[in-house]
Amino acid sequence: MSGVMNRVFSRVRNLDAYPKINEDFYSRTLSGGVITLASSIAMLLLVISELAMYLQTVTETKLVVDTSRGEKLKINFDISFPAVSCTLLSLDAIDISGEQHLDIKHAIIKKRLDANGNLIQLRIDRIGVPKIGKPIQKHGGEIEHNETYCGSCYGAELSSTECCNSCDAVREAYRRRGWGLMNPDSIDQCKREGFVQRIKAEEGEGCNLSGSLQVNKVAGNFHFVKSFHLANIHVTHDVKAFEDDSYNISHKINKLSFGDHYPGIINPLDGVEWFQHTPNGMYQYFIKVVPTVYTPLRGSVIRSNQFSVTEHYKGPEVRKNSLPGVFFFYDLSGIKVNFTETHTSFLHFLTNICAIVGGIFTVAGIFDSFIYHGHKALKKKRDLGKLG
């Protein structure tokens, strides 16, 4: 039995591709030491580089057709207007489906700014509450004890039962009718709320608006205009009310994005600032929104958007029936961008390490052999006196 095992071991031993050399036959040289040191350093550097690449996350990009339907588009903004007070600044949104939101107040924060752009007062915009005097009922008399208040809409009501219990409610009713509210002091609700006094108190101030909008995922626009004269012409505004007004639409976009933040996103309008030289102009931004999905290695998928933009300014001499203000017209791209974070597999990393070690070892061996045998041949010729 042992004889059979010995024969098997002998045959396996004959397959050895790495025959060993007795140490007595080793010949160590200076050139071999230098090559070994240099190849070891090169091997170490390449292994460290490969390890860094293995630990690094790579983002792959893929373009596909956007087949999503019925989704909402989130618009985040933070914009400063140094020459328009918060009371007179309005945000509206309209899309091609016909849906419109006028003088948006929900989820909007207005900050009063002084002439130097410093914060004066932080105010979350909401419907005003009467504070001065007794409210006047719709029928004309003052409200009595335990009587339900129903304020007049001053001819703008859509039904006989409609009530306007605040200045904002009256202004909204006027907007629906397409009328301009030219004399707020004649409106009981506005007079009691001190609407005109508030406008005068904020004269010379600026305003910062920040917040977010949820709109239909279709083409549309949102714009910042002077809310005092809102009415219903094309973009639901009374253009004639501005004929004798001086409206400064200078602005700075601190932040504008369509959707949530994801790594590497670039919003081209962040930090953009523009100052008008002539009043009553119309500044337009035309935006192409590209749906984007970011899939990280860890964590949940981020569904957002990136965009490109072009700008255009209309002066009062060419604006004609257009309303002065800052307008953002957006349209959706039919192509969606998918970003996916990937990682080099361990087997690929191991293969590269073996290639580095084996390759450098082999090349260094060839180079050492060339130097050793070349030096040996030159020495032999010198000993035979064949070198002059």
Lowest mean pLDDT among 1-10, 325-334, 339-348: 1-10
- 364 and 36 in contact (C-beta within 8 Å)? yes
Instruction: Say if 62 falls within a structural domain.
Output: no
Measure the CA–CA gap between 231 and 186, rounded to whole angstroms: 18
Q: What is the pLDDT of residues 157-172, one digit of tens each?
A: 888 888 888 888 888 8
Q: Which residues pair with 34 in a beta bridge?
A: none
Which residue, 108, 102, 69, 328, is CA-closest to 216?
69
Question: Residue 286: what pLDDT?
Answer: 97
In this structure, what DSSP letter does residue 132 have? Answer: S
Number of domains forming the structure of the chain: 2
Of 182, 204, 226, the position where a domain reaches its end is: 204
Question: Residue 152: what pLDDT?
Answer: 86
Domain boundaries, position 46: 29-57+343-366
What pTM value is reported for the model? Answer: 0.69
Of 153, 182, 204, the position where a domain reaches its end is: 204
Binned at pLDDT 50, 70 and 90, residue 122 comes out as low
Question: Residue 237: what pLDDT?
Answer: 44
Asked if pLDDT for residue 304 goes beyond 90, the answer is yes
Asked if pLDDT for residue 234 goes beyond 50, the answer is no
Question: Residue 240: what pLDDT?
Answer: 42
Average pLDDT, the chain: 81
Instruction: Say if 141 falls within a structural domain.
Output: yes
Beta carbons within 8 Å of 158's beta carbon, 6+ residues apart: 173, 176
Measure the CA–CA gap between 69 and 218, rounded to whole angstroms: 10
Lowest mean pLDDT among 31-40, 116-125, 191-200, 269-278: 116-125
Asked if pLDDT for residue 269 goes beyond 90, the answer is yes
Question: Residue 230: what pLDDT?
Answer: 42
Percentage of the chain surpassing pLDDT 90? 31
Instruction: Say if 137 falls within a structural domain.
Output: yes
Asked if pLDDT for residue 19 goes beyond 60, the answer is yes
Instruction: Say if 78 falls within a structural domain.
Output: no
Instruction: Say if 163 falls within a structural domain.
Output: yes
Which residue, 322, 228, 244, 256, is CA-closest to 283?
322
Asked if pLDDT for residue 281 goes beyond 70, the answer is yes
Instruction: Say if 151 falls within a structural domain.
Output: yes
Instruction: Say if 1 falls within a structural domain.
Output: no
Question: Residue 370: what pLDDT?
Answer: 83
Instruction: Say if 148 falls within a structural domain.
Output: yes
Mean pLDDT, to the nearest integer, of 108-123?
Answer: 81
Asked if pLDDT for residue 141 goes beyond 70, the answer is no
Q: Could you give phi then psi for residue 153, rounded to 5 degrees?
A: -100, 5
Binned at pLDDT 50, 70 and 90, residue 242 comes out as very low
Which has more pLDDT, 48 or 35? 48
Question: Residue 241: what pLDDT?
Answer: 39
Beta carbons within 8 Å of 281's beta carbon, 6+ residues apart: 249, 313, 314, 315, 316, 319, 324
Asked if pLDDT for residue 123 goes beyond 80, the answer is no
Of 164, 187, 204, the position where a domain reaches its end is: 204
- 251 and 79 in contact (C-beta within 8 Å)? yes
Which has more pLDDT, 116 or 283? 283
Binned at pLDDT 50, 70 and 90, residue 136 comes out as low
